[in-house]
Amino acid sequence: MTKLLDGRELSGYIKERQRKTVLALKSRKISPKLLILRDNDSPVIEKYVALKKKYGDDIKIKVEDKLAKDADELKKLVLEANKDESVSGIIVQLPLKHVEQTEEVLKLISPEKDVDGLSGSGKFDSATATAINWLLAGYDIELKNQKIALVGRGRLVGAPLEKMFKNSNYDVTSFEKGDSLDSLNTFDVVITATGVPHLLNNSHIKSGAVVVDAGTASEDGVLKGDLSDEVRERDDLKALTPKFGGVGPMTVTILFENVLRAAEKP
C-alpha cells in the first residue's frame, strides 16, 4: 500500500508551534511581517499569494502584498523594503512577467530578508527544497544508501536540493530538461520539479520507489504536476505525494519558519 506524504497534515503540526512562537515574539515587542512583491497578477499567482496571506492570518503574522507595474518598479520596491525595519522577510513571487529580469531582481533582496532563499547569497536555503527535506524526514523516509534522482535543476527546487543532498553525502543524480529518462526506473527515490505536466509515467517509476512531485504548471487554468495520473493510481510504491497538498503546503510553512527566524535577528 502506497504511503501518502501528506504535506497538509505535517504543516498543521508545525503551524501550531509557529503560532505560539509569534505570540512569544509579540510579547517581546517583535512583530514579524512578510512582504510579497510581484509584477504578475495571473490567476495562478493570485492563488499562491492568497495561500500565503491565509497562512499568515492563521499564525498572526502580517502579510503585505504589492503589485508593481513593471520590473523597474519592482526593483525600487525591493530596495525600499530592504531599508524598512518593519519588514522581516521579502519574497518576489515568481514567475515575473519579464522572466529575463528574475536574476537581477532577486539579487537585490537583502540576504537577511531573503526568506525564500532564491537570491543565492542569503542566510536561508530555498523554501521549497527545505520543504521536501522536512516532508521526507517527517514521514521517516530514509535517504541514506538510496539512489536518488532529481528531475529538473531549476533555481526553486532542483539546484538547491541537489546541493543539500550532496552536502549530506547522498547518492544523487540530476536530470536536466531534455535528458533521457530511460534509467529513471532504477532509482529508489524520484523527486521531480520540471513544470512539464504528465512528464513521468509508470515506465519511469519502479515498484517500491518514493516519488515526490514538486512540479507546477498551469494547463487550461488548472494546476498540474509532473506525474501522469497512472502513477498516482499505483499501490506498489513506498510513498508518494498527493495530487494536491504535498510539497506546496510545506513550502508555505518553511517560508513562514524563515520569516520567524528573520524577525528574531541575532
Query: Do 175 and 202 fall into the same domain?
Result: yes
Q: Residue 18 domain-assigned?
A: no
Of 51, 79, 111, the residue that ends a domain is: 111
State the chain's maximal CA–CA distance in angstroms: 56
Q: Residue 119 domain-assigned?
A: no
Domain count, the chain: 2
Query: Do 79 and 165 fall into the same domain?
Result: no
Given a cut of 80, whether residue 73 has pLDDT beyond it is yes
Query: Do 131 and 237 fall into the same domain?
Result: yes
Residue 155: give its domain's CATH number.
3.40.50.720
Query: Do 102 and 161 fall into the same domain?
Result: no
Q: Residue 7 domain-assigned?
A: no
Query: Do 133 and 182 fall into the same domain?
Result: yes
Mean pLDDT calculated for residue range 158-173 = 95
Looking at every residue in the chain, the average pLDDT score rounds to 94
Q: Residue 254 domain-assigned?
A: no
Q: What is the dihedral of CA 185, 189, 195, 199, to 10 degrees?
A: 20
Q: How confident is the model at residue 155 (pLDDT cuts 50, 70, 90)?
A: confident
The model's pLDDT over 109-122, given as tens digits with 9 standing for 90+, comes to: 999 999 999 887 77
Residue 71: give its domain's CATH number.
3.40.50.10860
Q: How confident is the model at residue 218 (pLDDT cuts 50, 70, 90)?
A: low
CA 157 to the chain's CA centroid: 7
Of 141, 149, 144, the C-alpha closest to 239 is: 141
Domain span at residue 215 reads 127-247
Task: Name the β-bridge partners of 212.
Answer: 191
Backbone torsions φ then ψ of 184, nearest 5 degrees: -60, -30
Q: Residue 32 domain-assigned?
A: yes
The model's pLDDT over 182-210, given as tens digits with 9 standing for 90+, comes to: 999 999 999 999 989 999 999 999 999 99
DSSP, collapsed to helix, strand or coil, labels residue 208 as coil
Query: Do 144 and 92 fall into the same domain?
Result: no
Query: Do 156 and 232 fall into the same domain?
Result: yes
Q: Residues, the chain, total?
A: 266
Q: How confident is the model at residue 99 (pLDDT cuts 50, 70, 90)?
A: confident
